Structures are given as structure tokens and as C-alpha cells.
Amino acid sequence: MTWLQALPALFIAIGVFLIPGAVLGRAVGLRGLMLWAVAAPATVSVASITAIAAGVLGVRWSVGLVGLSVIALALLCLLLRFAVSVTRTRIDGRSISPIRSVRSPELPLPIGVVRALSYVAAVVAPTVIITWRFMATIGSPGNISQSYDNVYHLNAVRHIMETGSASSLSLGSLTEAGEGFYPAAWHDMISLVALATGTSIPVAVSLGNIVIGAVVWPLACMYMISRITGMSAITILLTGMLSGGFAAFPYLMIDFGVLYPNLLSIAILPVALGIMISFLGVGVLTAGLGHSVVLFLLVFPGLALAHPSTAIAMIAFGAPVVLAWVAYRTLQWRRGTVANRRMGLIFTFAGLYLGIGLVAWNLARLDPSVSLWDPRQTGSQAVGEVLMSAPQGAEASLALFALTILGLAVLSTRPARLWIVGMFSVGLGLYVIASATGEGEFRHFWTGVWYNDANRLAALLPVVTLPVAVIGGEWALRRLADIVRTSELPSAIARRVSTPESRVHYTLPATGLLAGIVLIGVSAQLMGVPRQQSEAAPGYRYTDSSDLLSVDELAIFDAVEEHVPEDAQVFGNPWTGASLVYAFTGRQTVAPHITGQRTDEENILLTQLDEAGAEPGVCAAVRNTNTYYALDFGTREVGSRYHPSTAMDNAESAPGLELVASAGNAALYAVVACGTQGEAS
């Protein structure tokens, strides 16, 4: 399949992410930018909660089930709005619709039309840029990331589609011995994309990730920035252009790991922060308690069920916002403009926020034994990487570096906005601790939530760097526009082209602003992002020596579909990628993930399968698990690791195995020493 052939499915995938949440958003009164920014997070929330409820009730997962949930919730919201007499209210009265028809003498179009076109451009530009870069990275819609975690991710999507069970409470390790909690929101959404489009799981993964990176993320960024600075066309355009300029997100998350659940959760994070900012009133656009609670309920469940660590990041980034709010209200209280009772409620809220946040932080920290990532640099190097938007050794972005430094300088002169610097400092501090601090309790306390893995914290940095960079860019552009406007240039141009001077005084700076925004956007696409793309692309190519699946191994999956019954289980060493037979063909496998708990019979198959017919107990395990076929993908393992396996080390000479098909070093065997499939044990 080519990208052109996949285009209709891509539009369906966009609909899968946006339409359910948009329906629910309209039911609660959302409109404009708020509606579309909240739409995808709301869809994720409804889908992931519906999956849990369906698991409890024993209802099969499907697109229709999610649709029914959305309709039921939308009707309930409409009834509640009617009951409390708020059917005529709007949560966001300053959204981009409806378009005003006021005409300015300096403009050839109504002001509202110009502003609306700016907002559309702010959405379209990053969507096109990020989509193109994702496509170039992935190469072909059916390609997969040749990485460790992808064995689980792809097989988990297949598990959802095959079993109809999509609950985060049971997705676990996909084996009978180890079912348990795993945040399944990303897998739920990709399964919906696959079911709605009819595409293969690899194609659905590619399309879903493009929607997350190119649609959900820019809209979320624009929503957050609009809560901070307002709906200025300049800031919204700058946000859109810069949202695709960070190598660390969204691009790093489709390369490292791969951390697809983090991709989804971090794409939602700016919306959650925007809700907090507007509720506490520290930005320009504010919202009341009731509206904020509604938005929080729409967004937070999806964020937490995409990846809980990002919910912890929200608490960390929100702490400076809460402290700034308390400080501001305290000043008002001392001036007598805030009542004592209200101040007591403010202190109570802040105390609960910090206390609950600390408890959640401690609960979310992982055991040190699984937090194996070592520091890789000095503290000063880590700080430099953050300032240059070049974490984890990425190539520096000079444009983002300049805008970040300028933004920090501007914010330092605005005490009411220092909480933005606080958010940035939290992100910087966590990254420095993970990447540059030695092993110990201090490091594990602060970054154990993220496995002490600097890559995960690097991906969070654009969320807190973007506001700083946008504010720096806006300040620079407005100063340049003011210089042009107050100079003699507009008058000279007006005289030369016989145009009213008032129009030139408006259109010349406006044209310069637009050109400056485009220049900033183009500059942000240089250096860091192209290098990240070029480094990630080889990991999505099928070659003779691919880390996870080679060209020959992929061909063997075709043989599996031809020779292996649909209800059969296939053995494969998961370290070699053989376990992806489940994701690609639907045939179950002994070990659907590289790690995980195994039953005694599974352990026998994973160590002694080639001894079928000779070693007591092997055939019993074969019959009881219905494992009459086996894949041998050699000894090459993902990540150039080496875990010696004895299960198929003598496959070629084993009398109990019979070769069914081969391609290069990859082979499919039938286990003939144990009778035939379906035979009683």
C-alpha cells in the first residue's frame, strides 16, 4: 500500500479521533478552537473508559460500542444542561466562530475572515509538515518500528481485535499467567482505526500515529497557548509553526522505544495544562469552576489511561501555576480585595493539590530494579541541551534556542508570567536529574516515575518550552512591526504606489509579521528535526538484517497464513520478532511479548520444543496449548541483544519437526511428533 492509497483511510482515522469527542463537546457547549482541541482527548477518554466498562460487563469491544457510549453521554449532557438552564451559555465565548463581518478600511477582507484564515493556516501548516515528516520516517504505511516495545504494542492491538477485550485493567502481558493493568488508551484507539478502516494493524498504527502527531498535538498546543496569551493570530500562527519544530516531540516518540502510549498522552498534555491555567485565572482566557470540571472530566481520563506518567508530569508542571495563583490571591487578600473565607479555600485547594500530587508521585514511582537508565552527561551539558531544544544529543535548533532565550528574558520582566518560567524550570530540572545525576535515592525520587529514562523526559520538554519560545517570538515580531510602522518606510511606499498611507501603515507591518512567522517556522524545521527524522527512518525499513523482522521473515508470515489453521498457536522466540506472527496473521503465539510471566507449559515450549517426541512433557504441552507449528528466525535479536534459546537450536535435525516453508534463514515448521491439531491429549 502506498501513502496515496492510504489517504482515504487517513481521513477516516482523523474522524475516529475527532468526531466522537466533537459530538460530546458540542453537547456540553464547546465551540471553536476549544471544541477541536478537546475533541481527540475526549474521544480517548470515552473510548478507554468504555473499554474498561465493557470488560467488567463482558461486552465485546467495537466501533459501534464507542459510538453508543458517545451518543448516550451526549444525550445525558444535553439533559443536564437543560436541567440547570444553561442551554444558551458557551464555555468559550472568545472562540474563532462565528466569523465577524466587520470590515476595516485598511484591510481588503473582514477582520474576522482574516483571523479565521490565520487560525486555519495555523492548523494546516503543522498538520502538513508533521504528516510529511512522519510519512518520510515510516517510509510505507505498512512498515513497522523495528524496536523492542513494538512486539507488545502490535500484539496488544491484535489481542483487542481478536478477543474483544480492550480494558486497561486486563491488557497486561497478554498471557494467561500475567494479565494485569496496562494503560491501553493508545491500543484502544489504534484498534478502532483498524476496525473502522479495515486496514492491517501496521497500517492502522502508522495512520493513528500520524493523527496523534500531526492533528492532536498542534491543536492541543494552540489551546494551551491561547489560554496563556489569548487568541491573537500572531501567537496562534507561531504556535502552529513551532509545534512541528521540536525533535523531541512528536518525532522522538516514534523512534525511541517505541513509546507509542507516551506519544498519545503527551499530545493530550497541553490541553490538560490549558484547562488548569484557565481555571486558576493566571492566563488571559479564564473559565469558571463548573466549566473547568466538565473539561477536566473530558480530558484527564484519556490522559491518564494513555500513560499515567504523563498525568504525573501534569501535576509537576502545574505546581508553579498553582503557587503563582496562590501568591497572586495572597497579594489581593492583603489589599483587602479577597475575603478571608475565600482565601482559606484557596490555601486548602493548594494544599490538597500538592499533597495529593506528592502521594501520586510516590505511588507512581517504579521499583529501582526496573529503572536501569544511567546518566549520560554533565549537568551543564544537560542544561545546554534543553535551552537548544536538543535533548539526548540531538542536533541543536538555533531558531528555537534564540526564541527560548528571548522568551525567558521577556518573561523575567513580567512577574505575573513567571509561572511559565517555573513550568520550564520543572521540565529542565527533571531532565537534568535523569540525564546528568548519579545513581541514588535523590535521582530515583524525582525521575523514577519515568524509569530514570531521560528520553521520556526529553519528550516532555517541548510542552513547557513552546510557551516560552512563542512569547519570545511574538515579542520580537511585534517590536519589528512597531519599528516598521513608526519609520518613514510606510509613507514612502504610499507615495510611490499612490495608495492611502493608512492602508500601508497597516498592511506593511502585517505582511512583515506574516513573513517573520513563516521564516521562524521554516528555521525551526532546520537541523534538529531533519536529523531526528533521518535517524529514525532506518528503524522502519524491512531489510535482510532488520532488527525485528527481515524481508525473509515477513515472507514466512505469508506462509503461516497459507498453511497454519486460524485457531492454531504458533511458537516463536519473541526476541527474534517471531512473536509478531500474532499481529500480522492473527495466529496466537506462545509469547506475545518479549518479557512476561509464563505458565509451566509455555516454559517447556520456550526451551524444549525441538525435543518433541523425545522429551517427556513436550507433546503434552503442545497438545494442551494447541502449538503444532513453530517459527525459527535464527539467533539475531532486536537491539543486538543475545538471550540463548534452546527451543529451536536443533530444529533442522529434530525428528519431531517437519519443515513447511523457508525463506533465507527464516523457516516454518510443523510439530509432527505429537499427533495432529485437535487430537485429544
Q: How far apart are CA 573 and CA 580, in angstroms?
A: 10
Least confident of 129-138, 356-365, 485-494, 637-646: 485-494
Q: What is the mean pLDDT of residues 427-437?
A: 95
Return the residue matching grid coordinates 476595516.
104
Residues 666 and 605 sit within 8 Å (Cβ to Cβ): no
Task: Tell which wins on pLDDT, 318 or 439.
Answer: 318
Above 70 in pLDDT, residue 135?
A: yes
Rounded mean pLDDT of 476-505? 70
pLDDT at 492: 65
Query: How is residue 346 written as a grid cell?
Result: 484557596
In the block, residue with C-alpha cell 478502532: 192
* Amino acid at residue number 259: L
Q: Is the dihedral of CA 606, 611, 617, 619 positive or negative?
A: positive
Give the pLDDT band (50/70/90) at residue 490.
low
* pLDDT at residue number 368: 82
CB 400 within 8 A of CB 521: no
pLDDT at 493: 67
pLDDT in tens, 79-90: 888 877 544 545
Mean pLDDT computed over 616-630 = 91
pLDDT of residue 6: 96
Least confident residue range of 242-251, 295-304, 486-495, 587-596: 486-495
- Assess whether pLDDT exceeds 80 at residue 365: yes
Mean pLDDT of 345-363: 94
> E strand or H helix at 640, and its extent?
none
**Band of residue 595 on the pLDDT scale cut at 50, 70, 90:** confident
Work out the average pLDDT over 144-157: 94
Q: What are phi and psi of 106, to 5 degrees?
A: -85, -10
The residue among 592 and 642 whose pLDDT is bigger is 592
Structure confidence by residue, pLDDT tens digits, 95-132: 333 333 344 444 455 556 667 788 899 999 999 999 99
- Position 103 scores a pLDDT of 42
- Span 145-172, mean pLDDT? 93
Of the listed ranges 12-16, 142-146, 287-291, 418-422, the least confidently predicted one is 287-291
* Ramachandran region, residue 117 (left: φ > 0; alpha: ψ -120 to 50; beta: rest): alpha
To the nearest whole percent, how much of the chain has pLDDT over 90?
70
Q: What angle do CA 589, 593, 597 make, to 5 degrees?
A: 95
How far CA 374 is from CA of 277, 340, 420, 448, 640, in Å, comes to 34, 49, 29, 12, 19
Mean of pLDDT over the chain: 89
Q: Which pLDDT tens digit goes with each residue over 44-84?
A: 999 999 999 999 999 999 999 999 999 999 999 998 888 77
pLDDT at 237 exceeding the cut of 50: yes
Q: What is the pTM of this model?
A: 0.92
What pLDDT digit, counting tens, does each position of 385-407 carry?
A: 999 999 998 999 999 999 999 99
Residue 553 has pLDDT above 60, yes or no: yes
Amino acid 97: pLDDT: 37
What's residue 1's pLDDT?
86
- Encode 400-434: b = buried (16+ Cβ within 10 Å), e = exposed: bbbbbebbbebbeeeeebbbbbbbbebbbbbbbbb
Query: What is the per-residue pLDDT for 104?
Result: 41
pLDDT digits (tens, 9 = 90+) for 653-664: 889 999 999 998
Mean pLDDT, residues 619-631: 92
Contact 220, 268 (CB under 8 A): yes
